[in-house]
Amino acid sequence: MAVNHAEFVVLGAGPGGYACAFRAADLGLNVTLVDPRADLGGVCLNEGCIPSKALLHAAEVIREARHVGDWGISFGEPKIDLNKLREKKNGIVKHLTDGLTGLAKRRKVNVVRGTASFTGPTGLEIDGAAWSFDQAVIAVGSSPVRLPGWPDDERIWDSGSALELRQVPKRLAIVGGGIIGLEMATIYAALGSNVTIIEFMEQIAPGADAEAVRILHDVLQQQGVIIHTGTKVVEVKATKAALGLSCEGVFDGEVKADAVIQAVGRSANGHLVNPQAAGVAIDARGIIAVDATCRTNVDNIFAIGDVTGNPMLAHRATHQGHVAAEVACGHAGALDTDFIPSVAYTSPELAWVGLIAATAKERGIPHKVSRFPWAASGRNLASGGGDGMTKLVYDPDTKRILGATIIGRNAGELLAELVLAMEMGATLEDIALTVHAHPTLSETIAFASERALGTLTDL
């Protein structure tokens, strides 16, 4: 049987895989990029980050239009044409996937549509065809976790089906109050659903700063979202009329819903490519361990992105993709940072990086905290913003930033300054003495630094 050969093959064309393939091609390798999807971009572009951001934008417009009633401007109740909204979202995705196809072509990346599986340390099968390769990158991502014992019912959605925007259910239950659950709640509450979030842990967005999360929790409740924390779903019953979720914990009782979104995390897809055949170690959860250069235990095989475990974030995958491509080409490269930002694109946004105060305390790391409340930010108030906070965790001796959390409008954009500050080892003085334009939300970062230094005049 004829064997196809790939000098450098990347399995999976998500934000990790395509970035890796493109970087490797730019460095002169002959690259093959394999994915079963018709379009490049993986989950993130096709049914995750980008479509959700399009719908979150629509949700924000609806909310803004409601809020300006207080400013003496009214538009009336929004009329939502679901088909048009879906088309708009799909159009944005198509524009970007077409763009990727063009970028792949210009780089002469050989895109193969198919499902790949290892047959040995230098062998693959792609839809039944035999391939050999010199170096490979596993970038096959993750899939939504499905809770066991739930009925098979088309009213039970995962994050992908929720973004298809099939309908706006009157009553929507969301199981899991992590980033996906919160973003879905933000979208569907604005579109008109009565949303209930059921979260197993004591707080929504577990892992984020509790004080900031409290602000988000309160705002979501003001938006009409019911939140049951410390509660688990023990049984789901489907009848024609509704789905009934029996809950136990802080909330004991039944939640009735017309649709349910399961958003209880994602699991790595490592087993899909049979890595054991190549000698690549994989754990029971489908996670493939890598070193800082993204190399697996097998020298010529790398892994990047969600398949390498947490944090399962697109921007981490992209950086790993670049590292793997560079290392494969003999360059020095590593992803050895803990400063990977997390953003929940809720309304308001919640963004954080590095240590939160609770973790610093738990680990006995000397730290201090400085906050700037957005009630004192002229720009926030003048642009209709509500509660918010910029919170810094810093080393009391070196005055370097150990972690930062921002809750408020555009928190995700604002956080970048603090990620850079941490990467560069900037001190509170460096930030405080940097002239921030007035009036901006970015000033809250300088103000929080000044507050820590005792030089703040704005509070």
Catalytic residue numbers read 438
State the minimum distance, in angstroms, from the CB of residue 343 to ligand NAD.
5
Is residue 232 a contact residue for ligand NAD (CB under 6 A)? yes
Q: In this chain, which of 118, 345, 394, 447 binds ligand NAD, going by CB under 6 A?
A: 345
State the minimum distance, in angstroms, from the CB of residue 160 to ligand NAD.
11
| Separation CA 33–CA 19 (nearest Å) | 11
Nearer to ligand NAD, 106 or 146 (CB): 146
Nearer to ligand NAD, 166 or 251 (CB): 251
Is residue 179 a contact residue for ligand NAD (CB under 6 A)? yes
- Counted residue by residue, the chain has a size of 459
Segment interacting with ligand NAD, rule: CB under 6 A, options 18-26, 74-82, 179-187, 327-335: 179-187
State the minimum distance, in angstroms, from the CB of residue 207 to ligand NAD.
8
Q: Which long-range contacts (CB under 8 A, 24 or more apart) does 287-296 make?
A: 288/138, 290/320, 292/323, 292/334, 292/335, 292/336, 293/323, 293/324, 293/327, 293/333, 293/334, 294/137, 294/320, 294/323, 294/324, 294/327, 294/335, 295/324, 295/327, 296/138
State the minimum distance, in angstroms, from the CB of residue 244 to ligand NAD.
15
State the minimum distance, in angstroms, from the CB of residue 302 to ligand NAD.
21
State the minimum distance, in angstroms, from the CB of residue 145 to ligand NAD.
7
Q: Which of the residues 189 through 208 are near ligand NAD (CB under 6 A)?
A: 198-201, 206
Q: Where do runs of H (alpha helix) occur along 15-81?
A: 15-26, 42-47, 49-67
Amino acid symbol at 256 = K
User: DSSP for 313-379?
Assistant: -HHHHHHHHHHHHHHHTT-----------EEE--SSEEEEEE--HHHHHHTT---EEEEEEGGG-HH
Nearer to ligand NAD, 16 or 333 (CB): 16
Q: Which of the residues 303 through 322 are near ligand NAD (CB under 6 A)?
A: 311-313
Q: b/e per residue, 291-315, with b = 16+ CB within 10 A?
A: eebbbbebeebbbbbbbbbeebbbb
Is residue 147 a contact residue for ligand NAD (CB under 6 A)? yes
Nearer to ligand NAD, 6 or 179 (CB): 179
Burial class, 201, CB count within 10 angstroms (exposed 0-12 / middle 13-18 / buried 19+): middle
Segment interacting with ligand NAD, rule: CB under 6 A, options 93-101, 221-229, 260-268, 440-448: 260-268
What is the 8-class DSSP label of residue 410?
T
User: Which one, of 19, 267, 23, 272, lies nearest residue 124 by Cα?
Assistant: 272
Is residue 343 a contact residue for ligand NAD (CB under 6 A)? yes
Q: In this chain, which of 176, 286, 305, 385 binds ligand NAD, going by CB under 6 A?
A: 176
Number of C-beta neighbours around residue 105 at 10 A? 10
205: left (phi over 0), alpha (psi -120 to 50) or beta: left
Cβ atoms 307, 140 nearer than 8 A: yes
Is residue 233 a contact residue for ligand NAD (CB under 6 A)? yes
Is residue 228 a contact residue for ligand NAD (CB under 6 A)? no
Q: In this chain, which of 141, 177, 348, 408 binds ligand NAD, going by CB under 6 A?
A: 177
Segment interacting with ligand NAD, rule: CB under 6 A, options 171-179, 267-275, 346-354, 432-440: 171-179
Q: Which of the residues 263 through 292 are near ligand NAD (CB under 6 A)?
A: 263-266
Cβ atoms 168, 193 nearer than 8 A: yes
State the minimum distance, in angstroms, from the CB of residue 405 to ligand NAD.
15
Residues that bind ligand NAD (CB under 6 A): 147, 175-181, 183, 198-201, 206, 232-233, 263-266, 311-313, 343-345
